């Protein structure tokens, strides 16, 4: 580890790494010295992020996976375990925003997609990568949440419900591993950020009025370098 590459020697996995906060986080982690495994469904977008990391002097590996596939996460974990003995960092950034609307009019198909990606895939990630995280000297998990999970907001019921469950799942995992391992969990609310998901939710908003994903990514790296206590929570 060096002062200019404080995460040198670390292996990190970032979900939703093809765009937005996930892509920015992957690049920031690589710039800090970590070898980053990029995962999402869009292969071309992942390759673009990988190229950007390599052009900046970092290292990365793409691992395309569809989180809606039942065996997607276990296959990903098996592939990583075949190459690395440990996983130092896992950033859970992937999320799906269903159409906003009243609880009585939630689209079942979109709600199911949100439950699968935002909740079921998160459990699968924790279960599948738990052994690698525990074998690391100090395994770290950071989950990206939303304020609507903790503070109910009209028309955001479908997404908010999955994020409330997401937060609870991460907190319970943190409680379970806190006293028996060096794994520590943090939940980060990025707040208003210039992403495609934000534009979908607020189509009339001026993108320049909210911060860039790199601001959140830099904070994630700061957290990892400075370290954090178990069940750490903050809003950027």
169/167 Cα distance (integer angstroms): 5
Q: Domain of 229: which CATH number?
A: 3.40.50.720
Nearest to 145 by CA among 169, 120, 164: 164
Q: 38 - beta bridge partners? A: 14, 62
Query: Is residue 225 included in any domain, yes or no?
Result: yes
- Tell me the CA distances in angstroms from 12 to 17, 22, 49, 107, one per residue in order: 11, 12, 15, 35
Residue 130 lies in a domain: yes
Backbone angles phi, psi at 185, to 5 degrees: -120, 140
Residue 120 lies in a domain: yes
**What is the tens place of the pLDDT at every residue in 34-65?**
999 999 999 999 999 999 999 999 999 999 99
Query: What pLDDT, on a 0 to 100 scale, did the predictor assign at position 3?
Result: 72
- Report if residue 118 sits inside a domain: yes
- Contact status, residue 197 vs residue 212, Cβ threshold 8 Å: no
Segments forming the whole domain that contains residue 50: 11-235
pLDDT tens-place string over residues 154-208: 999 999 999 999 999 999 999 999 999 999 999 999 999 999 999 999 999 999 9
Distance CA 218, CA 32 (A): 10
> What pTM, to 2 d.p., does this model score?
0.97
Over 80: is that where the pLDDT of 153 sits?
Answer: yes
Q: How many domains does the structure of the chain reveal?
A: 1
In Å, how far from its chain's centre is CA 41?
Answer: 14
2 within some domain: no
> Phi and psi dihedrals of 38, rounded to 5?
-100, 125
pLDDT at 2: 65
In a domain, 3, yes or no: no
Angstrom CA distances, 42 to 18, 47, 125, 140, 186, stand at: 7, 9, 19, 26, 27
78-87 pLDDT per residue, tens: 999 999 999 9
| Confidence label for 1 from pLDDT (cuts 50, 70 and 90) | low
How many residues appear in the chain? Answer: 236
Q: Stretch 114-132: mean pLDDT, rounded?
A: 98
Please report whether residue 6 resides in a domain: no
Distances (CA, A) of 13 to 1, 90, 142, 154, 204: 19, 5, 10, 34, 34
CB atoms within 10 A of CB 224: 24
Predicted confidence at residue 208, as pLDDT, reads 94
In a domain, 5, yes or no: no
């Amino acid at each position: 580890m060096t002062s200019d590459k404080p995460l040198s020697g670390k292996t990190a996995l970032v979900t939703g790494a093809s765009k937005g906060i996930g892509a920015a986080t992957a690049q920031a982690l690589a710039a800090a010295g970590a070898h980053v495994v990029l995962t999402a469904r869009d292969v071309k977008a992942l390759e673009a992020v990988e190229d950007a990391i390599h052009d900046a002097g970092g290292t990365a590996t793409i691992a395309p996976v569809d989180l809606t596939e039942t065996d997607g996460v276990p296959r990903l974990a098996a592939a990583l375990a075949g190459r690395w003995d440990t996983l130092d960092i896992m950033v859970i950034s992937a999320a799906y925003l269903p159409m906003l609307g009243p609880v009585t009019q939630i689209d079942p198909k979109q709600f199911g997609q949100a439950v699968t990606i935002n909740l079921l895939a998160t459990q699968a990630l924790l279960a599948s990568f738990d052994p690698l995280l525990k074998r690391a000297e100090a395994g770290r998990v950071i989950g990206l949440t939303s304020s609507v999970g903790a503070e109910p907001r009209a028309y955001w019921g479908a997404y908010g419900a999955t994020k409330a469950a997401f937060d609870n799942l991460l907190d319970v995992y943190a409680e379970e591993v806190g006293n028996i391992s060096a794994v520590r969990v943090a939940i980060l609310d990025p707040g208003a950020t210039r992403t495609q998901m934000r534009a979908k939710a607020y189509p009339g908003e001026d993108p320049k009025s909210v911060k860039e994903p790199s601001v959140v990514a830099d904070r994630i790296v700061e957290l990892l370098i400075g370290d954090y206590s178990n069940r750490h929570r903050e809003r950027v």
